[in-house]
Structure 1
Amino acid sequence: MAATVAIEERLVGADAPVYVIAEIGINHNGELDIAKQLVDVAADAGCDAVKFQKRTPSICVPLEQQQTRRETPWGEMSYLEYKERTEFGAEEYGALAEHSAQRGMQWFASPWDVPSVDFLEEMNAPVHKVASACLTDDELLVALAATGKPLIVSTGMSTMDEIDHAMSLLDPAKVILLHTTSTYPCPPEEVNLRTLDTLADRFDVPVGYSGHERGLQVSLAAVAMGACTLERHITLDRTMWGSDHAASLEPQGLAHLVRDVRIIESARGDGVKRVFPGEVEPRKRLRRV
């Protein structure tokens, strides 16, 4: 796997600790207090960063869907009104950036349109995320590459040709690829963890895993296989209203995940065969020849 990529002072790569991202996304439901609680959940669990999603609804919501009526916790409204209601602006992101820093974590977001890239640049996000849904948006990729910031690029719902094209628009020295399957929730038979090696061999960049499955086993297996980054959606309660809560981890599950990630990365070692201190006495006692 390629050399590390720096996100501010934090190195991400094969020889660095696993960079654990708590994906808050839109699970804050447009409520700053919920978002701050989720930042606290991530910090208490020992995550390295929290991630949000940033959209300009008038651009991202297709015209034919904008006036579709939808039942929400705030009453019936158009889909466009709903997306605007749950979108954070500069005041909220400023508060979340400050709160994340106080809790010792980095923060960033996945912009879904070019104005959102400009917004996140103004907010001094240290890194940008390319959502799987945006991998084929050349205009967005060019705008992100122009920032000069490191990019975390998800590859769900994409062919290898599409990933090749996206990488041709980006600086590989600034890219961390994430293998993911964009099925929510994702069944084990669609995860295909061996793609971690495929991406690492093909692009020679750090490769991690973004999981949408239920439970912890698959994510932990990805770390055992060498994923340098791990991203999982988090929520206060999987039964909350909203589209992403059901495929998210609750606080206890996240804490268990990070605990086990740190054990696994310690157990992976460096691959050099040696006699460890704990083996010295058994070696003396048990070896006959």
Structure 2
Amino acid sequence: MHRRTLIIAEAGVNHNGDPARALALVEAAARAGADIVKFQSFRADKLATGAAAKASYQQATTGSEQSQLEMLRALELSGDDEERIAAACRSAGITYMSTPFDADSATHLVRRIGVGTLKVGSGDLTNAPLLLHLARFKLPIILSTGMATLAEVEQALGVIAFGYLGDAAANPTPADLAKVLLDRAAWDELRAKVTLLHCTTEYPADPQSINLRAMATLRDAFGLAVGFSDHSRGIHIAAAAVALGATVIEKHMTLDRNLPGPDHRASIEPDEMAAMIASIRDIEAALGDGRKVPAPEEVPNRAVARRSLVAIRPIKSGERFTADNLGVKRPGNGIAPIEYWSYLGRTAQRDYAANEALEP
């Protein structure tokens, strides 16, 4: 059977820096049926300089007057806020997750909050020091791969593998990172703990930019579990990703797409999240186990839809069956039509009325 897809409702920064709205997002994600609600943990001054420009979509949604750094400062949650949100998740029966953007935020998530899985955003796939810090917690990692080439993904996996297996105090050299990917134990560890998310880093992403088949490329190249971080409009492309083998779906969620802020317009609202999850669960059920056998529900319909050998005009005992007196009609509870040619030329053992099914 198809593995149950893990659904991450990406609250991200859609709380707009308001802890009360963050708590409302937790409740909405839980009601929608998500497995995880994910936030973002960062300190703006550690993430960007004053010279960092906003992305074009951020300028479109928040204007160009403030810098990226100023925007990020307004979207921070404190460590205490995060702990309250995590407690609310436990009460609501949904798993708390957050993407750390710096080592201190990651340590807080693991040591204080007790997260069981770490998520890496696409922007940090090349942030080798952060990847190494995360891997040394020995926890599962979900790694988004937006903007990346296969070579860059492989480099990131080398850093993560070194963190999983290497000396906790050692800094890897390029030779170390190349060597670790030749180690079967490293790949065993990566396959046990790392999921790669295909992603298009644009908000929203147009369908022609999404390239869902790249998800299979990642799976074939590295042998790891794969999923999809979806920035498209609507819910249908996420559902298609599940049909193509995604084990994780991440989708931005907002309480109101018209709220101010960088990500609201590219997010879905709670009722859409619920509809997406319902569609995904239907697709999982429909995928089945791949064996081509009748479903139990089909078996009674065989007699209704299939046909049997019948006399198409009256036949006397001793008369031979021919193409003129033998045919196939419903119901299908008699001799199967595959026997038609073997009956031609045989002698009828009794009289048959028109439309009467033949007996063996």
Structure 1 counterpart of 2:92, from 103, 107, 110 = 103
2:285 & 2:219 partners in 1: Cα distance? 21
Matched, 1:41 2:28: yes
2:12 & 2:129 partners in 1: Cα distance? 22
Deviations 1:30-84 (A, max 9, x none): 1111111111111111000011111121111124249xxx9x99xx977545433
1:48–1:105 contact (8 Å) kept in structure 2:
yes
Paired residue for 2:290? 271
Structure whose CA Rg is larger: 2
1:56–1:115 contact (8 Å) kept in structure 2:
no
Alignment of 1:245-256 (within 5 A): 245-256=264-275
Deviations 1:198-225 (A, max 9, x none): 1111111110101001011111111111
Structure 2 counterpart of 1:215, from 209, 226, 234 = 234
Q: Secondary structure at the match of 1:277?
A: coil
Paired residue for 1:229? 248
Q: Secondary structure at the match of 1:265?
A: helix
1:210–1:232 contact (8 Å) kept in structure 2:
yes
Identity percentage of aligned residues = 40
Query: Structure 1 pair 285/20, CA: closer, same or farther in 2 (3 Å)?
Result: same
Equivalent position amino acid for 2:267 in 1: S
Matched, 1:83 2:72: yes
Paired residue for 1:170? 160
Highest RCO, 1 vs 2 (Cα 8 Å, sep ≥ 6): 1
Q: Secondary structure at the match of 1:179?
A: strand
Structure 2 counterpart of 1:185, from 178, 199, 204 = 204
Query: Structure 1 pair 81/198, CA: closer, same or farther in 2 (3 Å)?
Result: closer
2:241 & 2:37 partners in 1: Cα distance? 20
Paired residue for 1:18? 5
Which deviates further from its counterpart, 118-127 or 92-101?
118-127
Equivalent position amino acid for 1:133 in 2: G
Equivalent position amino acid for 1:101 in 2: R
1:218 & 1:199 partners in 2: Cα distance? 18
2:146 & 2:71 partners in 1: Cα distance? 26
Query: Structure 1 pair 83/167, CA: closer, same or farther in 2 (3 Å)?
Result: same
Matched, 1:51 2:38: yes
Paired residue for 1:126? 116
1:43–1:105 contact (8 Å) kept in structure 2:
yes
Alignment of 1:50-69 (within 5 A): 50-65=37-52
Paired residue for 2:312? none
2:2–2:284 contact (8 Å) kept in structure 1:
no
Q: Secondary structure at the match of 2:218?
A: helix
Paired residue for 2:143? 153
Paired residue for 1:6? none
Provide the TM-score with structure 2 as the length reference: 0.71
Query: Structure 1 pair 120/266, CA: closer, same or farther in 2 (3 Å)?
Result: same
Query: Structure 1 pair 78/272, CA: closer, same or farther in 2 (3 Å)?
Result: closer
Structure 2 counterpart of 1:206, from 225, 228, 248 = 225
2:69 & 2:213 partners in 1: Cα distance? 39
2:50–2:67 contact (8 Å) kept in structure 1:
no
2:17–2:75 contact (8 Å) kept in structure 1:
yes
Deviations 1:120-178 (A, max 9, x none): 12221111111000000000000010011100000001111100100112241210110
Which deviates further from its counterpart, 82-91 or 217-226?
82-91
| Count of aligned pairs between the two proteins | 270
Q: Secondary structure at the match of 1:24?
A: strand
Instruction: Give the ranges of 4+ consecutive aligned residues of structure 1 lying more than 6 Å apart after TM superposition.
Output: none
Equivalent position amino acid for 1:225 in 2: L
Which deviates further from its counterpart, 147-156 or 109-118?
109-118
Paired residue for 1:5? none
Root-mean-square deviation (CA), in Å? 2.0
1:56 & 1:32 partners in 2: Cα distance? 16
Q: CA deviation at 1:250?
A: 0.7
2:304 & 2:234 partners in 1: Cα distance? 42
2:268 & 2:136 partners in 1: Cα distance? 34
1:65 & 1:212 partners in 2: Cα distance? 22
Paired residue for 2:14? 27
2:150–2:218 contact (8 Å) kept in structure 1:
no
Deviations 1:93-131 (A, max 9, x none): 111111111111111111112222112122211111110
2:37 & 2:159 partners in 1: Cα distance? 26
